[in-house]
Amino acid sequence: MKNQNIVLVGNPNVGKTSLFNRLTKLNQKVGNYPGITVEKREGSLNANGKTYHIIDLPGTYTLFPNSLDEEIVFKILSEKENKHYPDLAIVVAEPASINRSVILYQQIRELGVPAVFVINMMDELGSKGIQIDFDQLEFYLKTKVYKTNARSGKGLDKLIADLELIPPPFFSTFNINNVYWDAMEEAKKVFPLATEYLTWQYLAQEEVSHLDNDKKQALEKIRTKYNLNISEMQKAESLARHDTVNKAMEAIIIKSQNKNLNTTSKIDRLLLHPVLGYIIFYGLLFLIFQAIFSWSGPFMDWIDNSFATLTAYLANIIPEGPLASLFIEGIVAGIGGIVIFIPQIVILFLFISLMEESGYMSRVVFLMDRWLKPFGLNGKSVIPLMSGAACAIPAVMAARNIENPKERLLTMLVTPFMTCSARLPIYIVIIGLIIPDQSFFGINLQGITLFLLYLLGIFGALGSALILNKIIKSVRSSYLIFELPTYKFPDWKNVLTNVWDKASGFLFEAGKIILMISIVLWVLGNFGPTRDFYNAENIVVENNPTLPEEELSQVVASYQLEHSFLGYIGMGIEPLVRPLGYDWKMGIGLIASFAAREVFVGTMAVVYSLGGDIDIEDDGQKRTLLTRMNAEINNNTGKPAYNFASGISLLLFYAFAMQCMATIGVVRKETGSWKWTLIQTLFMTGLAYVAALIAYQILK
Amino acid sequence: MIFFKTAKQFIRMQQNNSLDKLKIGEIVKIHSIQTSDIPAKFYELGFYPGSVIEIKHKAPFDGPICVNILENNSLIAVRVSEAKLIITEII
């Protein structure tokens, strides 16, 4: 069947995603390209009596890749064996920057891919002061030119109806400097079947990952022989194309004053103001934080209660036994532990996609680059770092659009230091234990401690970036160049699909790992190596014959945990955590929270025989837990287990340690390397240990 | 005549400032780019010899510089470290 596979290609900010959403009618899915973590958006369109498969390729200015995202664009457009190799490319442009899109269009045609040209955002033609001679443009591009407005859907019917048409042949317009001719002749022998332009692309790229080694070596030999400089070749092409396209377009496009840019300039005068710009940005950050913490509250409570009701209901209807316990306390509770983060992730990504859609995000990059550069990061690191304050998992994923490999790696390595929402329950409990609820000069001491812990997260991230920046060698020199798009009203469809993609991605991807760990933890906590574990009830009754009925089960649970695998592991690591001021019970909490930090509170509740379902938001229950923890004596020191010294030590440990399996999983996936994942885990946990040790030894 | 020509060139040289030295609102033409280390992406986004640009915004404390590439009417930002290598001429 002809024109089965269709790809959308275009510069960033031309409304390509809106067009994709329109064409597929949201009949789409988001995944990853095999082997790399570039987001793959594909969907289907039923029209003309058949089903088209449509891929929305990442936005790019050129076929020469500068980032992982752009590599995939070249791969799909050039690799004929690829199952996504397009029968037709739809090159999407917007009125103001047609020249740039024409260059991309020419490159695609010269690779041998048939293409049509779409000018989207046609509604802005007037306000951008642009007149286009469409017949001339069609003649010049040797293809159909469509006028669309993806937001209103205008012009799409025509585009869809014409999808069966095959564009006429296209012959190259690109004249390359004669210094490259000899090298090209030789390269053509290596790729007898490729178009000349594709051969040129192979020659002028640093490394084409999908070529086999023989071909790569042959290319490298030619580059050495002719002393070719890749960057110079790409620039030569860029110059040659700019020159011809600009000349040709002079007759086709007439520009007068761009009113949109005027509006954008006015807004930018405020948002990029050296003082006001920062105040507005921090104000917005504050609002986002506020939203993540307070707006999500009711939703999280609701999810929590629903799961509590569900567990209670299941416990009622399923006959008791180890399998029921695994299902209810392991799996259902595990899923509950994942779902509870959805409100925060939704709110965070709602803000992030609004910022991206409106064009504000690049302004943030503009404002922040100066302050992040000294740490080896770049302006684009702001987004992952900010997101890290909610959850490191989507935050690490957000580092994808950083071009420089080193800066991207650094960003991913330090993002988990940011105080994520899972640390919050632990901070609240421990601060409640060791910091008096008093005001000092009108400032609540507990509040200020919490604030300091957030600052500590930021310092942890930036400080380690500084250290790692010295250690990691840079492959490419650091640079930053980015476009500040004109301001637009966000397209709600894009915002909502983006939020849905991110939330469901977290739910299913990270969820798998969290669920697995919950099950492992459940097994470790519910089975023991000795008979003490299984005879817990008899032993407890024997030792405390007078214990009332309702306390009995809790004491039994506590006794069981003590003699479970988890309990023994806790005791096993006690020598390790003793210098930090913890006893084996806290050791259990630490071990358990290596799966996910938020497990700590629940585990401590079980250890102290209060039953696992402690709701830290519920004041009564919180007080019970706090009272119980306050009364706890550390057997090693004979002092309260949660005194000021051990409390601070715990806080520091939780602030720095990598205690989240899901993050480890995501970092492994995103870095593609176990080496960096392990370095990160060891670095963070090592730092946590040393900080906690020093704090405890000084304060005790 | 030859002298005159070089003198004119001399004067022009004096007017060639690197991008980071310009003030907001100045409209200039890119004369040359001093190093080959600058990635091709700069060319593709409009920083190539002959391109006409207007300085639009500067982030404080030597932060990024945002210019309008007049050919596309697009706002592109670069760091000072790269702006130093972009030589402009007055038009």
Mean residue pLDDT across chain A = 85
What is the per-residue pLDDT for B8? 55
Q: Which two tokens stand for residue A36?
A: 């790399």
Sign of the torsion angle spanned by Cα atoms A326, A331, A334, A336: negative
Q: Which of A133-137, A253-257, A330-334 has the lowest mean pLDDT?
A: A330-334
The reply to whether B9 touches chain A by the CB within 8 Å rule is no
Residue A624 C-alpha from the chain's centroid: 38
CB A430 within 8 A of CB A617: no
Q: Interface pTM (ipTM) of the complex? A: 0.86
Secondary structure in 3-state letters for A190-256: HCCCCCHHHHHHHHCCCCCCCCCHHHHHHHHHHHHHCCCCHHHHHHHHHHHHHHHHHHHHHCCEEEC
A172, pLDDT greater than 80: no
CA dihedral A665, A670, A671, A676 (to 10 degrees): -30
Whether domain A5-164 has CATH 3.40.50.300? yes
| Side-chain half-sphere exposure of A35, counting CA atoms within 13 A | 5
Shortest CA distance to A434 belongs to which of A688, A655, A700, A648? A648
Which of A366-375, A496-505, A631-640 has the highest mean predicted lDDT (pLDDT)?
A366-375
pLDDT of residue B1: 46
Grade residue A519 by pLDDT with cuts at 50, 70 and 90: confident
pLDDT confidence tier of residue A107, bands split at 50, 70 and 90: very high
Inter-chain touch A366–B64, beta carbons under 8 Å: yes
Say what percent of chain A tops pLDDT 90: 34
Average pLDDT over residues A375-388: 87
Cross-chain CB nearest to B72 (options A96, A231, A481): A96
| Reported confidence tier of residue A275, pLDDT bands at 50, 70, 90 | very high
The token pair that represents A93 in the structure block: 């442009």
pLDDT at A322: 74
Task: Please name the member of B59, B71, B82 whose beta carbon is closest to the beta carbon of A370.
Answer: B59
Model pTM score? 0.80
Sketch out chain B's domains with CATH numbers: 17-90 (2.30.30.90)
Can you list the residues of chain B whose pLDDT is less than 70? 1-15
Do the chains contact at B73 and A484, CB–CB below 8 Å? no
Q: Give one word for A155, left, alpha or beta, with left for phi > 0 and alpha for psi -120 to 50.
A: left
Nearest-CA neighbor of A377 among A442, A300, A461, A433? A461
Give the phi and the psi of residue A6 in degrees, each rounded to 5: -125, 135
Which residue in the set B39, B48, B75 is minimally distant from A239, CB to CB? Answer: B48
In whole numbers, what is the pLDDT of chain B averaged over residues? 85
CB distance from B10 to chain A under 8 Å?
A: no
Best residue in B47, B48, B74 for a mutation probing chain A (most A CBs within 10 Å): B74
CA–CA separation, A497 and A29 (whole Å)? 10
Most B CBs within 10 Å, among A231, A260, A271, A476, to test the B interface: A231
Cβ <8 Å between B40 and A62:
yes
Which residues in chain A are classed under CATH 3.40.50.300?
Answer: 5-164
Pairwise CB contact (< 8 Å): A255 & B45:
no
Q: Which two tokens stand for residue A242?
A: 């700019």
Residues in chain A closer than 8 A to B83 (CB atoms): none
A-chain residue closest to B49, CA distance: A239
Shortest Cα distance, chain B CAs vs residue A198, angstroms: 18
- Report residue A582 as tokens: 């913890």
Looking at the partner chain, which of B60, B64, B77 has a beta carbon nearest the beta carbon of A274? B60
Q: Give the model's pLDDT for residue A328.
A: 78
In this complex, which of A66, A99, A485 lies closest to B39 when CB atoms are compared?
A: A66
**A275 chain-B contacts, CB cut-off 8 A:** 60
| pLDDT single digits (tens) A415-471 | 999 988 778 778 877 888 888 877 777 777 888 888 899 899 999 999 999 999 988
Our CA-based measurement puts residue B41 at a distance from the nearest CA of chain A, in whole angstroms, of 8
